[in-house]
Amino acid sequence: MNAPPSARASIAQVFRSAGIVLRPAAAVPDHRPRGRPETMRKILHIDMDCFYAAIEERENPALRGKPVGVGGSSRRGVLTTANYEARKYGCRSAMPVFKAKELCPHLILVPVRFDLYRSESARIRAIFGRFTEKIEPLSLDEAYLDVSHLRSSGAAIARELRAQIREETGLTASAGIAPNKLIAKIASDWNKPDGQHEVTRDEVAEFMAQLPVGRLWGIGPKMRGKLNAMGIHTCGDLQRLDKLELAQRFGSWGLELHDLSRGEDTREVRTESIRKSVSCEHTFPENIQTLPALEPMLLAMIEEVREDLERKHSNRLIRSLVIKMKFSDFTRTTAEKAHAELDAHLLKELLAEAWKRGQNRPVRLLGVGVRFRDPEEKQQLDLF
C-alpha cells in the first residue's frame, strides 16, 4: 500500500536528519546483468567461410566462380583448404594434390600466404572485441564468443557481427548460436556458407535427438560405422544406451558419448588466462595414410602456433615441443622433447617418431604444440 503524502514527507525528513539523501529511482545505476541469468548462456561459434580461399578470391577477383585450392604446390603436397566450387568436385582440406587433380583437373592451386591470413584474422578478432571480451580463438578462422551479458538475442548479435565482418573485410562468416560450445559449433555448420543457425535451450533435446551421430565431435567414418552396425544412427538412438553399456563397449570414450549425445557441455569460453601450453589440432576428413602426406599439414600448423605465440605469448619461455597423433583406431601417442624454440626441423623428427609408434596406422588427428615454463621459473632465470 502506498503511503500518504504526509507520511512520505516525514520519512524523507527522517532520512535527511540521518544524513541519508534520497534520490529518484531513475537516477540509480542499473547493475543488473544484461540479458539472461548466468545459467542461460549465449555462446556463438563463428566460422569464416573457406577463409584462406576467400581471401585469395578477394585479392584476385579472377578466381571467383572457379575451383581453387590453397597450398599443395607439388603433387606430393596436400591442400590446406578448397573453396566451395572445388568442394563440389570432392576436393577437401588435407587431400593429396594428386587426388584433388584427379577429381578436378582444372583446379587452380595458389600458394599459402600466412602473413596475409594472420593479418585478416587480427582484423576479425578486433570486430569480435566490440561485442565481448570473452573470446576463445580455435584457429585463424574460427572462435567461440560468450555474449551472455548482452541484452540482445544471440541471433541478433550474430547477424550484426557477421554484417560488420562482411562490410569491413569483404569476407563472409557462418555462426552457430546455442547455450553451450558443443551445440554452437555443430550449429555453425548448419547454414553454411554465409548463414547462421540458433538452437535455444528449449530446442536442445529435439535438436540432439534427431542429430546424426556422425555430427558429434570425435566420431569419424570408422566409429560411425561401428555405431550404425549397432543400429545407432542418431543421437536419440545413442541416448537409449546407459552409461554402463557405453563404457563396456567403448571405455572412457563411451562415458563422453553419453554426455555428448544429450548436448551436455559445461566448458567455459576460455579467454587470455595464463596458459601452460599453446597448440593447434586438426582432425582430417579422411584418415592420412602416409608420413609424407602429413608433413605439409605439420608446416601449416606450425605457422598457426607461431602466430599464436607472437600475438599473445611473446614473453613466455618455451619448455618443450609436442606432437600429438590420434590413429584410426582412436589410440593416441604424444612425442615430446625439451627445446626452447619453435623448431620445424625438430617437430618433423617428433612427427616421424609418433608415426613410427603407430606402426603405419592411418592418422585421423594431428596436434602440434609447445609447453611453457612456469612464470615463477622464468623469474628465477631472470635473476641469473
348 and 293 co-located in one domain: yes
Catalytic option among 142, 198, 303, 304: 142
- Assigned domain for 28 exists: no
- Judge whether residue 380 has pLDDT over 60: no
Q: Is 245 in the same domain as 282?
A: no
As given in the structure block, the three cell numbers for residue 242 are 546407459
Where residue 253 falls among pLDDT bands split at 50, 70, 90? confident
Has residue 292 been placed in a domain?
yes
pLDDT tens digits, residue range 81-110? Answer: 999 999 999 998 888 888 999 999 999 999
DSSP 17-42: HTT-----GGGS---SPSSS-TTS--
Mean pLDDT of the 359-368 span: 93
Based on the domain organization, do 336 and 292 belong to the same domain? yes
- What is the extent of the structural domain holding 232? 206-260
pLDDT score of 114: 87
Share of the chain above pLDDT 70, in %: 84
In this structure, the answer to whether residues 240 and 294 fall within a common structural domain is no
What is the number of structural domains in the chain?
2
Is the per-residue pLDDT at 35 higher than 50? no
Residues 364 and 281 in one domain: yes
Q: Which CATH number is 232's domain given? A: 1.10.150.20
Average pLDDT, the chain: 84
Among 84-98, 108-122, 213-227, 369-383, name the one with the lowest average pLDDT: 369-383
What is the Cα–Cα distance from 368 to 201, expressed in whole angstroms?
A: 35
Q: Which pLDDT tens digit goes with each residue over 13-34?
A: 543 444 444 343 333 333 333 4
Asked if residue 147 has pLDDT above 60, the reply is yes
Record the cell numbers describing residue 174, joined without a space.
557462418
Single out the residue in 260, 294, 327 at which a domain terminates: 260
Query: Is 47 annotated among the ligand-binding residues?
Result: yes
Indicate if 230 and 282 belong to the same structural domain.
no
Is 142 designated active site?
yes
Least confident of 96-100, 185-189, 364-368: 96-100
Q: How much is the pLDDT for 125? A: 93
The enclosing domain of 346 has a CATH number of: 3.30.1490.100
Any binding-site annotation on 49? Answer: no
267: left (phi over 0), alpha (psi -120 to 50) or beta: beta
Task: Please check whether residues 244 and 281 belong to one and the same domain.
Answer: no
